[in-house]
Amino acid sequence: MTSTLIVIQVVLAIAIIITVLLQKSSSIGLGAYSGSNESMFGAKGPASFLAKSTFVLALLFVVNTLALGYLYNQDKNQSVVDKISTSTVVPTTAKDSNKSK
């Protein structure tokens, strides 16, 4: 379960980076490669769409981070020693078996 959430975390991080870089800024960033999509996204262009998608991706990132923290905290409360079976037979050496005879 945690490995799946880690993969989702990496994908969300990459998606957030891409959407932030596609937004217009004073230095344009990667927004120069988006072209003119005014007809598809409305009069303002892709600015509001990218802002909303950045917000949604960031919200998913935070929820995923909280879920990972909760799962790792639950794993921390369990010890490896708690999982050891006490019904295992302890091997004895040949010297110990001669004493009992």
Q: Which tens digit of pLDDT belongs to each residue from 11-54?
A: 999 999 999 888 876 555 555 555 544 445 555 556 688 889 99
Is 84 contained in some domain? no
Mean pLDDT of 66-71: 92
Instruction: Give the domain extent around 27.
Output: 2-77
Mean pLDDT confidence for 71-85: 75
Q: Say if residue 97's pLDDT is above 80.
A: no
Global pTM? 0.58
Backbone angles phi, psi at 93, to 5 degrees: -85, 165
The answer to whether residue 87 sits within a structural domain is: no
Q: Could you tell me the pLDDT band of residue 88, with boundaries at 50, 70 and 90? A: low
| 51 close to 23: Cβ distance less than 8 angstroms | yes
pLDDT at 57: 95
Nearest-10 Cα torsion for 13, 30, 28, 65: 0
Instruction: State how many domains the chain has.
Output: 1
Asked if residue 50 is part of any domain, the answer here is yes
